[in-house]
């Protein structure tokens, strides 16, 4: 390319670049930019495949601690109310006094979900947990804040069993006696 | 009054001399402070805001759009206009750090020299009829020489930082700006040739007169585009204007000529060791100089404060010369031209990639200098024709 060819090339490519940025600018101004204004706008999330903050049913939990044992970072803390002999209750009658997950540790691997015999823990679609302290990163699931949205056939069968035995009302009353609030209407 | 007169004749009357000096200082300082408060700071803050918003849109994002006002019940995001103010306040609160082993005095005064250099450009900037700080008979010469002051400040900053990146950045600045002064000076000579004067007000009034292109009188008012210097010696001064504009970009270290602060190679070039408000002064100075050089470009080639808006104010609404309508019309005229050139600088920055140093030098010496010389010869011929 000769001397004047170089000049022409410089002018041509500069004009080409300016045209490109103008087209992007015009599109961003007229149709809005590609980015979202996060707290007000959110990207749609697939609730089936997304691994977000857990969903948990406190009434159906049998306090078997299978999820806590499966957890690779030990971020699930489980305690249940003691029975007449002073031992923590296990099984259907178990009343949860603590089911905390520390989200400053949790790595959202989902290994806690398959071991659960009552299918009362899942990974949900929520992903926002802002806070100022480490304590705010711990979610107290036994207060019933994040109920399971999608229920499996096995879970539905268990719900019917629990309802027939009147366990929902009984466990809620026992939790209330221990001073644990129930933030949602339980299943049944 | 020269120094000898001051010493021999005025020394006995020292109290009066002192009061005179104090008066002169006050008379110079108060307008200077007013210019800083009313023009330079808003121009810098708005310039940063415009840059960030436009670059956002060019990159398909929003840019700053949150920081507004919240005074009692009055709450509004103001499209993010408060962002620059918030950033400035943040910079004011930061530590004024001097790197150990650096030249402390040079390090501390370098940003003041850079900022002062761009501030001094505003002294001769004709915002409108009678709306000018000073109109010296060496107008353009003053602009070119005071604009070169910035190089000294940058070299001081680079040298005093005790940092190899800073020094390399400063050396690049010196090489680049020193080279681009040549085509810039030649390009600025073309309007001077057409006018026969370095005085900015005369360059403006020549562009408002009836246009003469290659000796041919065109019987329309010069304010309606054709009288502008960019159309003098058609089409050579269009090229001259482009050359002048490219040199302005290079002198301001704007992309694609931002080698002195080239982030990908030199961290931040001569700015690497600066923090807090001294860094902010470099920034404010850069945007103020962008506005000032855009204004000089508009004055030299695009008719300054004379043009269609001013023509409409005077002939359409019958504003008296020197009256308020005349001044406002001229100021609007000057502002739209300057803003256009300012926005073009931002647009170019977010379009073109950075050049290599050898490419920058080749563009200057191989292309801009010969082209500017040809254009100057053509302009001289056109000036001979009338």
Distance CA B256, CA A178 (A): 70
Q: How close, in Å, is residue B191 to chain A by CA atoms?
A: 24
- pLDDT surpassing 90 at residue B374: yes
Residue B319 lies in a domain: yes
Residue labelled with tokens 């002939």: B315
Residues 6 or more apart whose CB falls under 8 angstroms from that of B118 comprise B40, B150, B285, B286, B288, B289, B292
Is position B115 within any domain?
yes
- B88 and B116 co-located in one domain: no
Pair (B88, B149) in one structural domain: no
Q: Are A68 and A74 in contact (CB under 8 A)?
A: yes
- Residue A178 burial by CB count (10 A; 0-12/13-18/19+): exposed, middle or buried? exposed
> In the structure, what pLDDT confidence band is assigned to residue B5 with cuts at 50, 70 and 90?
low
What pLDDT score was predicted for residue B9?
66
**What CA–CA distance (Å, rounded) separates B284 from B96?**
17
Of A23-37, B201-215, B235-249, B338-352, the least confident:
B201-215
pLDDT at B6: 57
Give B-chain residues touching A7 at CB under 8 angstroms. Answer: 367
pLDDT of residue B294: 93
- DSSP class of residue A82 equals B
C-alpha to C-alpha distance for A29 and A186, rounded to whole angstroms: 48
Q: Total structural domains in chain B?
A: 2
Domain ranges of chain A: 1-38, 54-177
Instruction: Give B11's pLDDT tier (boundaries 50, 70, 90).
Output: low
Which residues on B lie below 8 Å from A18 (Cβ)?
A: 347-348, 351
- pLDDT tens for B278-299 read 888 888 888 889 999 999 999 9
- Tally of CB atoms within 10 A around B380: 14
In a shared domain, residues B204 and B241:
yes
Residues in chain B whose Cβ is within 8 Å of chain A: 54, 56-62, 65, 347-348, 350-352, 363, 366-367
- Average model confidence (pLDDT) for chain B? 85
Q: How far is B62 from chain A (nearest CA, A)?
A: 6
Position A120 scores a pLDDT of 86
- State whether B54 and B116 are in the same domain: no
Residue B2 in this model has a pLDDT that exceeds 70: no
Cα B219 versus chain centre, distance:
34
So what's the pLDDT on residue B74? 84
* pLDDT value for A188: 47
Q: A143-152, B185-194, B251-260: which has the highest mean pLDDT?
A: B185-194
Residue B10 has a CB neighbour count (10 Å cut-off) of 13
User: Burial level of B374, CB count in 10 A (0-12/13-18/19+)?
Assistant: middle
Q: Which range of residues forms the domain containing residue B158? A: 108-385
Start-to-end CA distance of chain A, whole Å, equals: 82
- Which among B40, B59, B93 is the end of a domain? B93
The C-alpha atoms of residue B197 and residue B360 are separated, in whole angstroms, by 32
Beta bridge partners of A139: A101
Place of tokens 């705010």: A136
CB pairs under 8 A between A and B: 44
Is the pLDDT assigned to residue B14 strictly greater than 70?
no
pLDDT of amino acid B373: 92
Residues of chain B contacting A34 with CB distance shorter than 8 Å:
60-61
Question: Do B281 and B343 lie in a common domain?
Answer: yes
Which residue has better confidence, B241 or A47? B241
> Is pLDDT at B319 greater than 90 in this prediction?
no
Q: Could you tell me which residues are beta bridge partners of residue A101?
A: A76, A139
**How distant is the Cα of B238 from the closest Cα of chain A, in angstroms?**
14
Q: Strand pairing of B216-217 and B69-71?
A: unpaired
C-beta atoms of A34 and B352 within 8 A? no
Element (H, E) at A98: strand A96-102
Please indicate, yes or no, whether residues B273 and B211 belong to a single structural domain of this protein.
yes
Tell me, yes or no, whether B17 lies in a domain.
Answer: no
Of the residues B93, B123, B149, the one at which a domain ends:
B93
Phi, psi of A123 (to 5 degrees): -95, 130
pLDDT at residue B163, rounded to an integer: 87
Chain A nearest C-alpha distance from B57 (Å): 5
HSE (side-chain half, CA atoms, 13 Å) at B5: 3
Alpha-carbon distance B375 to B85, whole Å? 44
The reply to whether B179 falls in a domain is yes
Rounded to whole angstroms, the Cα distance separating B313 from B357 reads: 47
Q: Is residue B34 in some structural domain?
A: no
Question: Does the residue B265 lie in any domain?
Answer: yes
Is a pLDDT exceeding 80 seen at residue B331? yes
B16 in a domain, yes or no?
no
CATH of domain A54-177: 3.30.70.3270
Both B79 and B189 in one domain: the answer is: no
Q: Looking at the structure, tell me whether residues B237 and B347 fall in a common domain.
A: yes
Report pLDDT for B339.
92
Q: Which of B37, B68, B93 is where one domain is finished?
A: B93
B120 and B60 in a common domain: no
Residue B172, φ and ψ in degrees, nearest 5: -65, -40
For residue B270, being part of any structural domain is answered with yes
Q: Which chain A positions have a beta carbon within 8 Å of B363's beta carbon?
A: 10
Q: Do A35 and B61 touch (CB under 8 A)?
A: yes
DSSP reduced 3-state for B233: coil
Query: Residue B205: which of B100, B102, B130 has the closest Cα?
Result: B130
Name the residue with higher pLDDT: A43 or B11.
A43
| pLDDT per 10-residue tile (average), chain A, 188 residues | 88 93 91 86 84 87 89 91 81 85 91 89 87 90 81 85 84 83 62
Please check whether residues B156 and B271 belong to one and the same domain: yes
pLDDT in tens, B103-138: 889 998 999 999 888 888 888 888 888 878 788 888
In a 13 Å sphere around the CA of B92, the CA atoms on its Cβ side amount to 6
pLDDT band of B10, cuts 50, 70, 90: low
């Amino acid at each position: 390319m000769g001397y004047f060819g170089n000049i022409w090339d410089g002018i041509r490519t500069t004009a080409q670049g300016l045209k490109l940025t103008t087209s992007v600018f015009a599109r961003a101004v007229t149709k809005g930019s590609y980015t979202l204004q996060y707290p007000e706008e959110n990207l749609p999330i697939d609730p089936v495949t997304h691994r977000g903050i857990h969903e948990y049913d406190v009434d159906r939990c049998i306090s078997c601690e299978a999820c806590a044992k499966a957890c690779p970072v030990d971020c699930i803390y489980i305690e249940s109310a003691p029975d007449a002999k002073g031992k923590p209750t296990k099984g259907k009658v178990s009343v949860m006094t603590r089911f905390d997950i520390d989200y400053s540790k949790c790595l959202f691997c989902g290994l806690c979900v398959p071991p659960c015999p009552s299918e009362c823990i899942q990974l949900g679609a929520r992903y926002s947990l802002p806070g100022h302290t480490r304590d705010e990163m711990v979610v107290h699931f036994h207060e019933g804040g994040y109920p399971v949205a999608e229920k499996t056939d096995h879970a539905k069968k268990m719900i019917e069993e629990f309802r027939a035995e009147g366990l929902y009302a009984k466990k809620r009353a026992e939790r209330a006696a221990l001073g644990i609030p129930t933030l949602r209407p339980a299943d049944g | 009054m020269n120094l000898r007169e001051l010493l021999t004749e005025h020394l006995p009357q020292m109290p009066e001399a002192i009061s005179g000096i104090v008066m002169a200082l006050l008379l110079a300082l108060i307008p200077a402070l007013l210019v800083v408060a009313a023009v330079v700071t808003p121009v810098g803050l708005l310039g940063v805001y415009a840059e960030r918003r436009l670059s956002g849109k060019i990159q398909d994002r929003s840019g700053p759009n949150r920081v507004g006002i919240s005074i009692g019940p009055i709450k509004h995001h103001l499209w993010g206009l408060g962002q620059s103010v918030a950033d400035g306040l943040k910079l004011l609160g930061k530590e004024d750090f001097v790197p150990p082993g650096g030249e402390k005095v040079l390090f501390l005064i370098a940003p003041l020299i850079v900022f002062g250099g761009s501030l001094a450009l505003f002294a001769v900037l004709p915002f409108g009829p009678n709306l000018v700080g000073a109109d010296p008979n060496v107008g353009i010469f003053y602009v070119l020489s005071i604009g070169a002051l910035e190089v000294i400040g940058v070299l001081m900053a680079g040298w005093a930082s005790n940092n190899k990146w800073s020094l390399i950045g400063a050396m690049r600045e010196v090489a680049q700006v020193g080279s681009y002064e040549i085509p810039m000076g030649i390009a600025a000579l073309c309007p001077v040739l057409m006018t026969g004067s370095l005085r900015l007000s005369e360059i403006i009034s020549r562009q408002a007169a009836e246009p003469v292109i290659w000796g041919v009188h065109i019987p329309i008012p010069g304010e309606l585009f054709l009288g502008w210097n960019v159309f003098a010696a058609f089409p050579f001064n269009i090229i001259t204007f482009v050359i002048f504009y490219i040199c302005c970009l290079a002198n301001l270290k704007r992309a694609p000529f931002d080698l002195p602060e080239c982030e990908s190679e030199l961290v931040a070039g001569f700015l690497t060791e600066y923090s807090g408000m001294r860094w902010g002064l470099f920034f404010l100075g850069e945007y103020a100089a962008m506005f000032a050089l855009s204004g000089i470009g508009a004055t030299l080639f695009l008719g300054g404060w004379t043009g269609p808006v001013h023509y409409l104010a005077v002939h359409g609404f019958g504003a008296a010369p020197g009256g308020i309508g005349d001044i406002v019309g001229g100021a609007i005229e000057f502002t739209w031209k300057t803003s256009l050139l300012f926005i073009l600088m931002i647009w170019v920055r977010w379009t073109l990639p950075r050049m290599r140093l050898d490419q920058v030098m080749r563009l200057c010496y191989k292309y801009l200098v010969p082209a500017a010389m040809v254009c100057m010869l053509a302009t001289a011929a056109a000036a001979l024709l009338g």
